Structure 1
């Protein structure tokens, strides 16, 4: 294998690794935003787990997170404005990225 091939392989491996970490971080964000919204809506623990799983599934349907924002806006109604939903999602994503980098998420999800 040439040096160029080795570099190319290393870049590809890093790209895959980074994509996996981002996927884990986004799944963490969706799970946490689901629990947050469930608490605002007064759901039981069992309902909250089901709702968080629904949020994760919604995000997997189309690219981007706008589908999650739309579902949360619809479900929360007047409980929280869209800008607050987006703030919380950004906070959970930042936390998810940190946890993914530290390896903590491999066992959490």
Structure 2
């Protein structure tokens, strides 16, 4: 019975690790998106804006809240970047974020 308990615990630990990694990758991707958008808008404190973007992801499940925030901010700044453009940038930044998290 002990080996079954050990396997169960190992699976639980792997699941927890995978969820933590996924969270960190998404947060990094959102930060990279914020830095990209801050550069487009000419923000003096790009890091502060990137933190706002990361925080906006906690409003609802999925990426809609992040896309809405960044697209809205870019529109307000007159940058002509659509929500579809922001969504495409998110997709482009996901493998970059994965590589950065994997690299440590």
- Answer yes or no: is 1:100 the counterpart of 2:98: no
CA distance in 2, matches of 1:52, 1:42: 13
Question: How large is the RMSD of aligned CA atoms in angstroms?
Answer: 1.4
**Number of residue-to-residue matches in the alignment:** 101
Deviation at 1:33, TM superposition (A): 0.4
Where in structure 1 are there 5+ consecutive unaligned residues?
A: 105-109
TM-score (structure 2 length as normaliser): 0.87
CA distance in 1, matches of 2:63, 2:87: 10
Specify the alignment match of 1:82 in structure 2: 83
Within the candidate set 66, 71, 74, 1:73 is matched to: 71
Specify the alignment match of 2:4 in structure 1: 4
CA distance in 2, matches of 1:101, 1:51: 24
Q: Report which structure shows greater RCO (CA 8 Å, sep ≥6).
A: 1
Where in structure 2 are there 5+ consecutive unaligned residues?
A: none
